[in-house]
Amino acid sequence: MRLTFTVNGRQQEADDVWEGESLLYVLRERMGLPGSKNACEQGECGSCTVRLDGVPVCACLVAAGQVQDREVVTVEGLADYARQRAEGGCGTGACGTSLDDAKRWQSKPADGRTGEAGAFPQQLSAIQRAFIDAGAVQCGFCTPGLLVAADELLERNASPSDEDIREALSGNLCRCTGYEKILDAVRLAAARTEEAV
Amino acid sequence: MDFLRPASWEEALAAKAEHPTAVPIAGGTDVMVEINFDHRRPDVLLDLNRIGELQEWEVGEETVRLGASVPYTRIIERLRGELPGLALAGHTVGSPQIRNRGSVGGNLGAASPAGDSHPALLAAGAEVEAVSVRGTRMIPVEEFYTGVKRNCLEADELIRAVHIKKADGPQQFSKVGTRNAMVIAVCAFGLALHPETRTVKTGIGSAAPTPIRARAAEEFLNAALEEAGLWDNGRIIPPSVARQFAELVSGAANPIDDVRGSAAYRRHALGVMARRTLGWTWDEYRGNERSARCA
């Protein structure tokens, strides 16, 4: 079947999608967006967490056909998504992340250690910057799902308690068990956002 | 495989009548796992996500009519007052991501004995609204489960809603697992006090082929509370009564040994949960009675 839905603010199409396929498979194998990770395929690990119409879900448990005409945000579009949120919506009408940009997305800080400005000057959202600064990334496999989940937490709760953070991230497993630094990163992102306001 | 996307409830019923083998999918938290692991290859998937009314609920005089696809997150946020037992049970389902998609309708459709909402439904009192093009049936939840992962739905029927009795007293839910999040129950127990009828109802999960009520335990406790006038005098429940109640709950179960736990452990844990939930709810009941008297 053909599938038309919005990925990171831009309408996308996929053809010849098998009816039993998951959203995760469509994103990774058909759209070329491997940021959402494929691990347990049963909703236990949270590495494939994406936003579906704003709601954090496991992409591996959403049937492809269920996302027809709906909006998905993946980790590749998270920085743009967060920026638009901060700017109060899409003023220019040219928001979102194109598939090409999403595929080339790299987690380079804005000042780029290589000295290059890079194609995307504002590449990192607050939560992404905080993960790097707090050393919350070890092997990195769980990171995309955690970023999406943590970003959503901070969206609805700007100053979460430790319990709030643990609860919000309870669906994301880190096999490196680097949870303390991950909690640090969320606290850091929250504190920085509060300072900025 | 066919993927049907009915835009309305009527269309969904027509599609189910035309394709009786179609597997309904809402949150996908059970169905997609089976497809991902190739445990199931339905010839037709019937997507219910487009049907708005399945995501809605109505709070009536005596019951809440809970749309089959209302996600657990919504129940926890919005129906804690009316359905405290179900809200507590819902809070132990999977993780935030799962609770954002999973629903009571899905739990009933899957009819796993380990489904978290069943003990709460049994304890509160509930009826399943099963609908087909032929009409509507209201099925008491006790009669809904017919075997391991089997329910009494006909091939052309879909779950429209669950009608759950609004709480008229304290309710509790308890679940044993290896950790707090993302755990399939080793066993679970729900308990609801119904001061209006002076009865106690229970639900046992994951410790028999189907979710069940511990009826002998309920009858014993109802008689013991009545005899000692405890509903009126608000005294604590004598330890011997609580112990006997716990033993009867253990005895009502018919558990098996499996990867999550042994039958003996399940029986033991059920007794502990029965005693504890009884203590918690009774404390709450006495507290309410006291403040009511003061006022």
Check B32 against A61: CB less than 8 A apart: yes
Check B3 against A171: CB less than 8 A apart: no
The mean per-residue pLDDT over the stretch A183-193 comes to 96
**B98 in reach of chain A (CB within 8 A):** yes
What pLDDT is stored for residue A195 in this prediction? Answer: 84
Q: Does A101 share its domain with A191?
A: yes
User: DSSP state, B8?
Assistant: S
B-chain CB neighbours of A18 within 8 Å are 1
Share above pLDDT 90 across residues of chain A, in percent, rounded to a whole number: 78
User: DSSP state, B39?
Assistant: S
Band (pLDDT 50/70/90 cuts) for residue A196 is confident
Shortest Cα distance, chain A CAs vs residue B68, angstroms:
17
Which tens digits make up the pLDDT trace of B37-76? 999 999 999 999 999 999 999 999 999 999 999 999 999 9
Inter-residue contact B187 to B255 (CB < 8 Å): yes
What pLDDT is stored for residue A95 in this prediction? Answer: 80
User: DSSP state, B82?
Assistant: T
pLDDT surpasses 60 at A118: no
Greater confidence (A129 vs B294) lies with A129
What pLDDT is stored for residue A106 in this prediction? Answer: 76
Q: What parts of chain B have a pLDDT lower than 70?
A: 288-295
pLDDT surpasses 60 at A116: no
Asked if the interface predicted TM-score (ipTM) of this complex is over 0.85, the answer is: yes
CATH of region B54-295, choose from 3.30.70.270, 3.30.465.10, 3.40.47.10, 3.40.50.1820: 3.30.465.10
What pLDDT is stored for residue A87 in this prediction? Answer: 87
CATH number of the domain that residue A70 is part of: 3.10.20.30
pLDDT surpasses 90 at A89: no
Which of B5, B32, B34, B77 to probe by mutation at the A interface, max A CB count within 10 Å?
B32
Q: Does A28 share its domain with A61?
A: yes
Q: How many structural domains are present in chain A?
A: 2
What pLDDT is stored for residue A174 in this prediction? Answer: 96
CA atoms within 13 A on the CB side of B89: 34
What pLDDT is stored for residue A50 in this prediction? Answer: 98
Q: Does A100 share its domain with A185?
A: yes
Q: Does A124 share its domain with A165?
A: yes
Q: Does A30 share its domain with A100?
A: no
**What is the model's pTM?**
0.93
Inter-residue contact B249 to B271 (CB < 8 Å): yes
What pLDDT is stored for residue A115 in this prediction? Answer: 46
Listed in order, strand segments (DSSP E) in A22-150 are 49-52, 55-58, 71-73
Distances (CA, A) of A37 to A77, A103, A140, A142, A173: 15, 14, 10, 8, 12
Q: How many residues does chain A have?
A: 197
What pLDDT is stored for residue A90 in this prediction? Answer: 77
Q: Reduce the DSSP state of residue A32 to 3 states and report it.
A: coil
What pLDDT is stored for residue A117 in this prediction? Answer: 44
